[in-house]
Amino acid sequence: MSKPIEHDYIGLSEQQLPSMEKSSDKKDGLHLKDTELRLGLPGSESPEREDHDQNVLSLKSFVSGAKRGFSDALDGGGNWVFSGGSGGGTEGLFSPRRGGKNNGGKDLSGSDSGSVLKDGAARKPSVVQEKKPQVAATSSHGNGNIAPASKAQVVGWPPIRSFRKNTMASHPPKNDDGDGNAEAKLGSGCLYVKVSMDGAPYLRKVDLKIYGSYKELSSALEKMFSCFTIGQCGSHGVSGGDGLSESRLIDLLHGSEYVLTYEDKDGDWMLVGDVPWEMFTDSCKRLRIMKSTEAIGLVTRKCLLPNK
Amino acid sequence: MQKKMAYSFPDEVLEQVFSFIQSDKDRNAVSLVCKSWDEIERWCRRKVFIGNCYAVSPRMVIRRFPEVRSIKLKGKPHFADFNLVPDGWGGYVLPWIAEMAGAYPWLEEIRLKRMVVTDESLELIAKSFKNFKVLVLFSCEGFSTDGLAAIAASCKNLRELDLRESEVDDLSGHWLAHFPETCTSLVSLNISCLRSDEVSFSALERLVGRCPNLRSLRLNRAVTLDKIANILRRAPQLVDFGTGYYAAELQPDVFSNLAGAFSSCKELKSLSGLTSLNLSYATIQSPDLIKLVSHCPRLQRLLVLDYVEDSGLEELASSCKDLQELREFPCDPFGAEPNVSLTEQGLVAVSLGCPKLRSVLYFCRRMSNAALVTIAQNRPNLTRFRLCIIEPKTPDYLTLEPLDVGFGAIVEHCKDLRRLSLSGLLTDHVFEYSGTYGKKLEMLSVAFAGDSDLGLHHVLSGCESLRKLEIRDCPFGDKALLANAAKLETMRSLWMSSCAVSFGACKLLGQKMPKLNVEVIDETEPPDSRPESCPVDKLYIYRSVAGPRFDMPPFVWTMGEAVRILH
């Protein structure tokens, strides 16, 4: 019973290998990675692929000897091998949808993400914009298209508690070398702030350092909180693609239903967007997506400061 | 006749005997001996530890152990510490408090780790347990100083309030004033996580002054040097003192200042009596660190930043022969270039010089197999070894080879190794070594490592004592997981994120293994909106006798029966 399954696995891998050979598109690292059983960082060397072949073969031999408690429990062969019947070709097999929703199959969120891989230029902003999975995936896929001045930070790496990270971020190390490095370091690190939304059952946290502008932040927040505006996601929401949710996504900076506000260092609640981005990230302690009706009394910094 | 004598051994005596048995493992063994022992034991079990709050329901615990006085609960998976678990995932303590409020009116101690604690929970604790003594909230969140005020006001016999590394909504420093003047029972107070600069300092002073048994005090940054001196004067009996992140603001003359502040405490003495030192928030430079450390020959535990540098660690190795635990953190983890001179040499020095070293957490930017082998050979008594080479997939800097051999030496020589975190460039070989030699390994953390499912298979099939496995960004997929599904029931939990496990495999696992909760976490879209062969973003599998939970947010799906996906 297990033999046919093993064979299918081997068959699975063999299916993938030719497509890897064929793919000469080395530039688009993501495509290559789509078809591999591996997630690797930039610079994953080809030699590893050869190991992969050997590993596949040795996998076959050990699986037959290995504990078969599980395979014994399976009913008749192969219904648990997800080979490419549905996937439409090998690209569908292990394509991480976070990197590219471009595989012929289901392309859910319609507009933007669908075009991600086709347009290399479009890729860069999406790296920075999208929150966690995107950042992690892209970094781990080592897409060469991304060449920002500083490396894209991988979420949760190095493994330092956010408590510690936030503490060090707010107390930058004092350098005695006197060449002003302390200021430079202030720019690194991360800065998690809580985001609450009126009516949402729980808070979220965002790292302000990931974003470079208000637009990126707004976009990310929309994605994060969109499931609340759709109404509970009880539908196991097809969250996109049917146009409905897109119209419900709020443009937090300019929309009418909600406004984005933040609490600054002095404890005042301000509207987001009035001050330069850098100043905002320095002074923002927490964010709140407030119903417009509630935000009537809120001031903008322009009003607070004379002659501004 | 003899049978009768054996059974006539009174329960009370057995109970008395059992009361000397404190460890959970032993207690569990006792309860397996026979039905009557099980019955006696469960009625006299006073302490319960639940490593995963979703593995069992509060009612089940209460039903089995009706007279508990002390409970310890853990919630979110460990990787939540690094923001890999989205907010709202779960880990709420309120259902537990609510059930225990009725069932355990004499509950004295609650210790929580990585759980969501609300003010409502804290208020319920304050109201429900008349003899409440110990509250430890380790890396928790969701509550404010209002909840703390309720605890302070109501808990007349509070001995311990420890909020280490929790996220507290610091609404006002006045909560401290809610401790009634009659409260004199405090033994330990840790409020170092409070971020606010406002602390009701006078309330704190009075509180400290009237608690003669106060042994351990950890304050936050609001308490400046001069105020510390005031406090210490009122609590000369302190043995453990921490200043939160205050030290970061100190000027270079920190050593003499600290020494001066401590000298009024006769039990803290000069620093020479210190066994535990946490300087991990102190940006003191190396020369001062060296001075500090050289005055603490009895040091057993040191937490420090990489400012200590190799030279500081060499000094540590020569001065502190009692050192058991070293934790070193990077002050600037995201900087591309190291700004301090800390390399693998520092760790090698400590491993050579400190014969009692058991536990290591070390961040560095380069490593070599040779260094790891040296460490392994010199310190076979290591029980915890967590190495983080900051850049993922960094090879041996001397040979450019993977670090398999080095870590292999660690697992091979350190036969009592219980916890291991891997980093650097690693192939499947390191997992082969781990599976072969890591027989006592209980917790393994893996990131950006391995080549294929073989790696995962080695670990799951070879590490007999494995309880917790957490993996991120590794090319491990369905094969190894499904082939070792039965193993998962012997473990507490498995976390896999950014790996290659397909949604279909998760569903299958969920269907076939009813004693496992297989949770798929995806914040961007539901997993069933893609082909089944697509890998899931995050996967958290844990054994449970409570069945699937129902407090999940919209982005978590529990894989269940054949037809539907529970949500």
Q: Which of B472, B500, B567 sits opposite A37 (nearest CB)?
A: B500
Number of residues that make up chain B: 567
Structural domain contains residue A82: no
Nearest chain A residue (CA) to B280: A164
The terminus-to-terminus CA distance of chain B in angstroms comes to 59
Q: What is the pLDDT of residues A165-200, one digit of tens each?
A: 766 665 554 443 444 333 333 334 557 788 888 877
State residue B277's pLDDT score.
75
Residue B128: closest CA among B163, B93, B158, B98: B98
Q: What is the pLDDT of residues B12-35, one digit of tens each?
A: 899 999 999 989 999 999 999 999
Residue A276 maps to which CATH number? 3.10.20.90
Q: Which of B83, B482, B500 sits opposite A70 (nearest CB)?
A: B482
Nearest chain A residue (CA) to B482: A70
A71 contact residues in B (CB cutoff 8 A): 482-483
Q: How far is A293 from chain B (nearest CA, A)?
A: 25
The least confident of B51-65, B333-347, B391-405 is: B333-347
CB contact under 8 A, B498 and A109: no
Residue B71: closest CA among B135, B18, B158, B150: B135
Summarize the confidence of residues A75-91 as an average pLDDT: 35
How many residue pairs from chains A and B have C-beta atoms closer than 8 A?
Answer: 250
State residue B244's pLDDT score.
54
Does B272 or A45 have the greater pLDDT score?
B272
Nearest chain B residue (CA) to A232: B554
CA distances from B256 to A29, B293, B316, B344 (A): 56, 13, 19, 30
B283 contact residues in A (CB cutoff 8 A): 171, 173-174
The verdict on A36 touching B (C-beta cutoff 8 Å) is yes
Residue A59: closest CA among A2, A1, A9: A9
State residue B45's pLDDT score.
95
Percent of chain A with pLDDT over 70: 28
The verdict on A297 touching B (C-beta cutoff 8 Å) is no
Sign of the CA dihedral with A120 first, then A125, A131, and A132 last:
positive
Q: Which of A82, A130, A201 sits opposite B504 (nearest CB)?
A: A82
Neighbouring-strand partners of residue B469: B444, B494
Residue in B524, B529, B555, B565 to test binding to A, most A beta-carbons within 10 Å? B524
Q: Which of A96, A159, A236 sits opposite B82 (nearest CB)?
A: A159
Summarize the confidence of residues A50-55 as an average pLDDT: 40
Q: Is the confidence at residue B567, as pLDDT, over 60?
A: no
Q: How far is B422 from chain A (nearest CA, A)?
A: 11
Q: How far is A307 from chain B (nearest CA, A)?
A: 31
The mean of the pLDDT values for chain B is 89
Distance from CA of residue B423 to its chain's centroid?
A: 19
State residue B370's pLDDT score.
98
Structural domain contains residue A213: yes
Question: Model pTM?
Answer: 0.73
Structural domain contains residue A120: no
Q: Which of B83, B474, B502 sits opposite A82 (nearest CB)?
A: B502
CB contact under 8 A, A55 and B281: no
Q: Is the confidence at residue A274, as pLDDT, over 70?
A: yes
Summarize the confidence of residues A238-250 as an average pLDDT: 38
Rounded Cα distance between B204 and B80, Å, is 32
B524 contact residues in A (CB cutoff 8 A): 98, 130, 133-134, 223, 239
Q: Which of A84, A158, A174 sits opposite B333 (nearest CB)?
A: A158
State residue A219's pLDDT score.
83
CB contact under 8 A, B307 and A173: yes
Q: Report the number of distinct structural domains present in chain A.
A: 1
8 Å CB contact between B546 and B60: yes
Range of the domain at A286: 189-228+245-301
The verdict on A142 touching B (C-beta cutoff 8 Å) is no
Q: Is the confidence at residue B247, as pLDDT, over 80?
A: no
Q: What angle do CA B51, B52, B58 make, to 5 degrees?
A: 105
Rounded Cα distance between B280 and A63, Å, is 46
CA distances from A41 to A111, A203, B393 (A): 28, 32, 8
pLDDT band at residue B192 under the 50/70/90 scheme: confident
Q: Is the confidence at residue B565, as pLDDT, over 80?
A: no
pLDDT band at residue A282 under the 50/70/90 scheme: confident
Q: Is the confidence at residue B461, as pLDDT, over 90?
A: yes
Residue A189: closest CA among A169, A211, A213: A169
Q: Which of B83, B486, B505 sits opposite A156 (nearest CB)?
A: B83
State residue B539's pLDDT score.
97
CB contact under 8 A, A80 and B533: no
Q: What is the pLDDT of residues B441-451, one digit of tens each?
A: 999 999 999 99
Q: Is the confidence at residue A72, as pLDDT, over 70?
A: no
Structural domain contains residue A209: yes
Pairing relationship of beta strands A286-291 and A258-263 according to DSSP bridges: antiparallel
Structural domain contains residue A174: no
Rounded Cα distance between B299 and B297, Å, is 6
pLDDT band at residue B475 under the 50/70/90 scheme: very high
The verdict on A252 touching B (C-beta cutoff 8 Å) is no
Structural domain contains residue A206: yes
Q: What is the pLDDT of residues B118-171, one digit of tens each?
A: 999 999 999 999 999 999 999 999 999 999 999 999 988 999 999 998 999 888
Contacts of A37 (CB under 8 A, 6+ apart): A13, A16, A52, A94, B452, B453, B475, B477, B500
How many Å is the maximal CA-CA distance in chain B? Answer: 80
The mean of the pLDDT values for chain A is 52
> What is the rounded radius of gyration, in angstroms, for the C-alpha atoms of chain B?
25
8 Å CB contact between B348 and B380: no
Q: What is the pLDDT of residues B53-81, one digit of tens each?
A: 999 999 999 999 999 999 999 999 999 99
CB contact under 8 A, B393 and A233: no
pLDDT band at residue B470 under the 50/70/90 scheme: very high
State residue A89's pLDDT score.
36
Percent of chain B with pLDDT over 90: 71
Q: Which of B83, B477, B534 sits opposite A95 (nearest CB)?
A: B534
73-112 of A, contacting B, C-beta below 8 A: 73-74, 80, 82-84, 86-87, 92-98, 105-106, 108-109
State residue A197's pLDDT score.
84
Q: Specify the 3-state DSSP secondary structure of B205.
A: helix
The terminus-to-terminus CA distance of chain A in angstroms comes to 77
State residue A11's pLDDT score.
31
Q: How far is A71 from chain B (nearest CA, A)?
A: 7
State residue A24's pLDDT score.
40
Residue in A41, A164, A235 to test binding to B, most B beta-carbons within 10 Å? A164
pLDDT band at residue B278 under the 50/70/90 scheme: confident
Q: Which of B245, B512, B524 sits opposite A171 (nearest CB)?
A: B245
Q: What is the pLDDT of residues B209-230, one digit of tens each?
A: 999 999 888 887 767 767 777 7
State residue B485's pLDDT score.
96
8 Å CB contact between B76 and B114: yes
The verdict on A55 touching B (C-beta cutoff 8 Å) is yes
B505 contact residues in A (CB cutoff 8 A): 80, 82
- What is the ipTM for the molecules in this complex? 0.85
CB contact under 8 A, A224 and B530: no
Does B203 or B408 have the greater pLDDT score?
B408
Structural domain contains residue A182: no
Q: Is the confidence at residue B417, as pLDDT, over 70?
A: yes
Nearest chain B residue (CA) to A186: B332
B79 contact residues in A (CB cutoff 8 A): 156
B388 contact residues in A (CB cutoff 8 A): 158-159
Q: What is the pLDDT of residues B304-330, one digit of tens each?
A: 888 899 999 999 999 999 999 999 999
pLDDT band at residue A304 under the 50/70/90 scheme: low
The least confident of A209-218, A275-284, B334-343 is: B334-343
Nearest chain B residue (CA) to A95: B534
Q: Is the confidence at residue B245, as pLDDT, over 90?
A: no
State residue A6's pLDDT score.
39
State residue A103's pLDDT score.
36
Q: Is the confidence at residue B43, as pLDDT, over 80?
A: yes
State residue A269's pLDDT score.
85
CB contact under 8 A, B530 and A97: yes
State residue B7's pLDDT score.
57
Summarize the confidence of residues B291-296 as an average pLDDT: 79
CB contact under 8 A, B534 and A96: yes
Structural domain contains residue A10: no
Percent of chain B with pLDDT over 70: 90
Q: What is the pLDDT of residues B76-119, one digit of tens each?
A: 999 999 989 999 999 999 999 999 999 999 999 999 999 999 99
Does B561 or A303 have the greater pLDDT score?
B561
A36 contact residues in B (CB cutoff 8 A): 475
State residue A169's pLDDT score.
61
State residue B274's pLDDT score.
66
Q: How far is B78 from chain A (nearest CA, A)?
A: 10
Neighbours of A35 (CB within 10 A): 23
State residue A308's pLDDT score.
38
Nearest chain B residue (CA) to A91: B534
DSSP state of B159: -
Which region holds residue B48: left if phi is over 0, alpha if psi is between -120 and 50, else beta?
A: beta
Q: How far is B229 from chain A (nearest CA, A)?
A: 23
Q: In A139-227, where do the E strands start and end?
A: 192-197, 204-207
